[in-house]
Amino acid sequence: MKRRAVILGASSLALLAGCLSDDDDRIDERGDIEIVIDDSPVDLSEDRYQAEHAENHSIDFHLHEGTDEWFMEGEERVTFAEAIDLLPHFAFATEDGDHVLEHDGTTYDEGDAGTEMTFTVDGDDVEPTEYTLRDGDEMVLEVTTDD
């Protein structure tokens, strides 16, 4: 699966400099995020998902240690799907109309029998490739399989 290019930071300090920038052209929004795979929430507070510790992170959409919120601080808003794809240890694509998620070497494909994905924002179902995130959005991705 092809991954979208991400902006790499040289250090936590460089990342935080972007987060604290007063640049009026940059978006500065945040919200809540939850990813659940087969009834088990992914612990997004683990260092490997946090921009301060991740080898690859994006200022466009990222997580920080010490908070359960997502941050969007690039120049353009991202969709729900782009946001998931920008998180370290995740990849997201749509192939032949089916959503495909990779996480920690496991692929979840809606094209496979028994695999379903639900994307909600503030409790409402959304199409992840079309829904653009806004400040305060509570986004939830739930993946269920027959496994």
Q: What residues does each domain of the chain span?
A: 12-144
The confidence score (pLDDT) of residue 26 equals: 84
Tell me the C-alpha distance between 113 and 133, whole Å. 29
The b-or-e profile of 70-89 (16+ CB within 10 A means b, else e) is bbbbbeebbbbbbbbbbbbb
Candidates 10, 31, 30, 44; CA nearest to 73 is 30
Tell me the C-alpha distance between 141 and 139, whole Å. 7
Task: List, for residues 31-68, the tens digit of each pLDDT value.
Answer: 999 999 999 999 999 999 999 987 777 889 999 998 88
The CATH class that applies to domain 12-144 reads: mainly beta
Of all residues in the chain, what percent carry a pLDDT higher than 70? Answer: 84
Q: Which position has the higher pLDDT, 53 or 90?
A: 90
The confidence score (pLDDT) of residue 36 equals: 98
Say yes or no to pLDDT of 8 above 70: no
Residue pair 136/31 in contact by the 8 Å Cβ criterion: yes
State the alpha helices, DSSP H only, in the chain.
12-19, 80-86
Say yes or no to pLDDT of 24 above 70: no
Residue pair 100/93 in contact by the 8 Å Cβ criterion: yes
The confidence score (pLDDT) of residue 22 equals: 52
Q: State both tokens at 91.
A: 């990849």
Tell me the C-alpha distance between 54 and 36, whole Å. 20
